[in-house]
Amino acid sequence: ETGVTQSPTHLIKTRGQQVTLRCSSQSGHNTVSWYQQALGQGPQFIFQYYREEENGRGNFPPRFSGLQFPNYSSELNVNALELDDSALYLCASSPTGNAYNEQFFGPGTRLTVL
């Protein structure tokens, strides 16, 4: 186990709703990244938080937003849900000064948008 936890495990929402996903990073890790994995595809980078600041963003619209808290846990918020937002959402944590950029993934939240 990586020590990264995510909640909830599964979620069903309808189009237009808003959702908040949560991630607790591994102890000692201050960087959290979020990824979206659609069925049959590799994970796609959404954004990264380092010490409570956004530290890079992928090609996702502004309705995808996030937060990182002082304890380095993180939230991913998605507004105005669309059908294509149905995916596995993964968070990954890594420690400061990780020269090889190894990231440790949580089990993911499976979001279904109807």
Partner 1 sequence: RKEVEQDPGPFNVPEGATVAFNCTYSNSASQSFFWYRQDCRKEPKLLMSVYSSGNEDGRFTAQLNRASQYISLLIRDSKLSDSATYLCVVSKAAGNKLTFGGGTRVLVKP
Q: Which residues bind partner 1 (CB under 8 A)?
A: 2, 31, 33, 35, 40-45, 48, 50, 55-56, 58, 88, 90, 92, 94, 97-108, 110
C-beta closer to partner 1: residue 18 or 98: 98
Separation CA 90–CA 88 (nearest Å): 6
C-beta closer to partner 1: residue 38 or 80: 38
Least Å distance, CB 102 to partner 1, is 6
C-beta closer to partner 1: residue 42 or 70: 42
